[in-house]
Amino acid sequence: MSIQPPILKIALPVPFRRYFDYLLPIHHDINQYQPGMRVSVPFGRRQLTGIFMQTAATSAVPIKKLKYINELIDSTPLLPANLLTLTQQAAQYYHHPIGEVLANLLPTALRQGKPIPETPPLHAPTKQLPPLTLNPDQQAALAAITAARDFFQVFLLAGITGSGKTEVYLQALAALAKNRQVLVLIPEIGLTPQTLQRFYERVSAPIVTLHSGMTPKARLTAWLQVRSGAAGIVIGTRSAVFAPFQNLGLIIVDEEHDPSFKQQEGFRYHARDIAILRARQLAIPIVLGSATPALESLHNVNNGRYQLLSLPQRAGVASQPHCQLIDMRKQQLSDGLSAELIQSLRQHLARGEQVMLFLNRRGFAPVLLCHSCGWSAICTRCDKRMTWHKRAGYLLCHHCTARKKVPTACAHCATASLIPVGMGTEKLAAALSQYFPDFPIAQIDRDHTRKKGELEQTLARITCGEARILTGTQMLAKGHHFPNVTLVAIIDADGSFFSSDFRALERMGQLLLQVAGRAGRADKAGTVLIQTHHPHHPLLQRLLQNGYDDFAHVLLNEREQTCLPPYRFLALLRAEAQNDVVAQHFLREVKQLLHDLAINDVEILGPLPAPMPRRAGYQRMQLLLQSAQRPALHHALRQLMPQVEILKSGQKVRWSLDVDPAEIA
């Protein structure tokens, strides 16, 4: 009687929510196989690199149809056991194919099956500044964090802008990171230079960064240094939450409210939530820091899941800036700027100070309009207006990145009376250079920081005082510390008042306060001017008069009354096709599957067109599932997704599942 060879469960980078069964070659020793090792296997006509997960006694596939593993690539596990467990839990929660999740964890070379190179040496910073003296609120926060060194606890460090949250981070990791690693998550690559500099000046442990702007070689090097334990501090954007730490002792999530922590393509995870899951798994503390916490985080404080640490005062001698609304109604504007704002800019610049102007629109103008007939340049793939990027010389769709040459005449009436309507950061900078020709301008937005080193050079110009006028989008608003900025101007505060996104007002409040917080961060008083056509909007008034806590309290009450997160749990099934009938048919079949499963406690809305029905040439439809109970929603998804995967109609569309969607768009 022949002995059946062991069956090996392999995770492969393919869009199926399961493992694949393979047989062990006769000349292979099963004792050499450990979970987390890479293997090379045949898959159809291809050879794929997968991750060995476990063995099994039986298979749902007949033994005669199973293929043999080609090669065991690694001699030791590439991924530690706790990271494999975390990945499995994340894949289950977001109902995403486990093989794709694991593949996304690996640097490109390792994903391709190349051997693990030697880990380059890493040296610690050679110079430290002494720690700063903490005020009583900072001391209380630090004491609470350090007392939790040996168990899981989520801390929400809610401190107004300039209250010294980073100093608490630095002293906490100094106390907890002896012989242990620390992960610091930040939302934007743009925050990396200043954050890295502050940590280099204060931390004696070796530091590495992990973010998408790195070259594949640099990312591989940093990944290996984390895996070996050589990197003591890791500063990274959302994907760094899956780094292969050897001995993680503390996690810090800075600007925890930021929507950039939610991945919007492929594996749609939220890095903050995965970080909390990882801290629970390892029984270590995690600190979520923000001046404007997410409503979900405040809800968890109210329910006792998180411990609130409050920093209500600015650190040192800095005081809160004075905020003032400028009523734009019936005013004569010059290039979108009120006379009051221009006069304030002159006064602050004359005193040798720096000023910052925030406008969350890139390009020169969001609309190119024919003055004769009303025609405007439209993206034919999205049915949305294209933005004129004057310096680059093209029209750009900010939804699908399609480009067009700037026309010399109207496409409808052939007249040459094309005019720019509205203002972007490029037009704002051009206007400022006319008003203030003697003052250098620094722009921080995606268009001006694409090239390697551009962002660092611009920040250096600002820090040394060469650039006196700062303009930019939300890249400029988050976390930066410019002591000489005394005036911050928000050019247009009204965009979020008319959005269909239920999170728009929350994000409006967060962004306004984050931008305002750049003013008066040292010994000079700060002023914030906010241009608006709705100065009496009740939520705007509440935000400025009563502060963020009261503003958030009102929004939470509204969410509860309207049955929206965090009081309801959502999953969004999206479908895209070149024909909307095809996308709608697929979602109707999915809806029928849900009805056939007779699932209770889950409400089904749709299928309906997405708020942006067409993008990049595809018609977009969506089906929304919501429930008052998280377990009920996930129970429904566990039963549903295996059936959705085998729907023939699903092969004719591009579809995706988004659990806890950050945007219903």
**Mean pLDDT of the region 459-482:** 83
Cα–Cα distances in Å, from 367 out to 372, 380, 430, 543, 615? 15, 15, 17, 31, 18
- Coil, strand or helix at 70: coil
CATH classification of 569-659 is 3.30.70.600, yes or no? yes
Q: Is the pLDDT of residue 410 over 80?
A: yes
pTM above 0.75, yes or no: yes
Q: Is the pLDDT of residue 3 over 70?
A: no
Cα–Cα distances in Å, from 105 out to 83, 113, 260, 474, 512? 10, 14, 18, 28, 35
If one compares 295 and 445, the residue with the highest pLDDT of the two is: 295
Of 1.10.287.70, 1.10.1200.10, 1.20.140.10, 3.40.50.300, the CATH number of 322-361+423-554 is: 3.40.50.300
Q: Is the pLDDT of residue 150 over 70?
A: yes
**Mean pLDDT of the region 388-394:** 89
8 A C-beta contact, residue 591 and residue 361: no
Q: Which is nearest to 298 in space by CA: 65, 479, 466, 550?
A: 550
Q: Is the pLDDT of residue 64 over 90?
A: no
Q: What is the topology classification, in CATH, of domain 7-111?
A: GIY-YIG endonuclease (3.40.1440)
> What does the pLDDT look like over 239-265, one tens digit per residue?
999 999 999 999 999 999 999 999 998
If one compares 399 and 191, the residue with the highest pLDDT of the two is: 399
Average pLDDT along the chain = 90
Q: Would you place residue 1 in the very low, low, confident or very high pLDDT band (cuts 50, 70, 90)?
A: very low
**Mean pLDDT of the region 419-423:** 87
Euclidean distance between CA atoms 440 and 103, whole angstroms? 46
Euclidean distance between CA atoms 269 and 533, whole angstroms? 37
Q: Would you place residue 290 in the very low, low, confident or very high pLDDT band (cuts 50, 70, 90)?
A: very high
Question: Residue 622 burial by CB count (10 A; 0-12/13-18/19+): exposed, middle or buried?
Answer: buried
Q: Which is nearest to 168 in space by CA: 131, 129, 121?
A: 131
8 A C-beta contact, residue 485 and residue 357: no
Q: What pLDDT does 34 receive?
A: 94
Euclidean distance between CA atoms 74 and 76, whole angstroms? 5
- Coil, strand or helix at 637: helix
Positions of CATH 3.40.50.300 in the chain? 136-311, 322-361+423-554
> What does the pLDDT look like over 547-569, one tens digit per residue?
999 999 999 999 999 999 999 99
According to DSSP, the residues that pair with 10 across neighbouring strands are 20, 52
> What does the pLDDT look like over 506-545, one tens digit per residue?
999 998 888 887 777 767 878 889 999 999 999 999 999 9
Euclidean distance between CA atoms 252 and 168, whole angstroms? 11
**Mean pLDDT of the region 348-355:** 91
> What does the pLDDT look like over 565-598, one tens digit per residue?
999 999 999 999 998 899 999 999 999 999 998 8
Q: What pLDDT does 514 receive?
A: 87
If residue 105 lies in a helix (H) or strand (E), which one and from where to where? helix 98-105
If residue 421 lies in a helix (H) or strand (E), which one and from where to where? strand 418-421
Q: What is the DSSP letter of 182?
A: E
Q: What's the CA dihedral at 634, 639, 640, 644 to 10 degrees?
A: 130
Alpha-helical runs (H) found in 370-453:
425-435
Q: Is the pLDDT of residue 213 over 90?
A: no
Q: What pLDDT does 191 receive?
A: 65
Give how far the C-alpha of residue 19 lies from the chain's centroid of Cα atoms, to the nearest Å: 29
Give the type of residue at 631.
P
Euclidean distance between CA atoms 627 and 637, whole angstroms? 12
Q: For Cα atoms 423, 192, 257, give the angle at the middle one, nearest 5 degrees.
A: 70
Q: Is the pLDDT of residue 2 over 60?
A: no
> What does the pLDDT look like over 27-58, one tens digit per residue?
888 989 999 999 999 998 999 999 999 998 88
> What does the pLDDT look like over 161-184, one tens digit per residue?
888 899 999 999 888 877 899 999
From the CB of residue 92, how many other CB atoms can be counted at a distance below 10 Å?
A: 15
8 A C-beta contact, residue 52 and residue 36: yes
8 A C-beta contact, residue 623 and residue 607: yes
Positions of CATH 3.30.70.600 in the chain? 569-659
If one compares 449 and 204, the residue with the highest pLDDT of the two is: 204
Q: Would you place residue 481 in the very low, low, confident or very high pLDDT band (cuts 50, 70, 90)?
A: confident
Alpha-helical runs (H) found in 494-651:
504-516, 538-546, 548-561, 580-596, 630-645
- What homologous superfamily is domain 136-311 in, according to CATH? P-loop containing nucleotide triphosphate hydrolases (3.40.50.300)
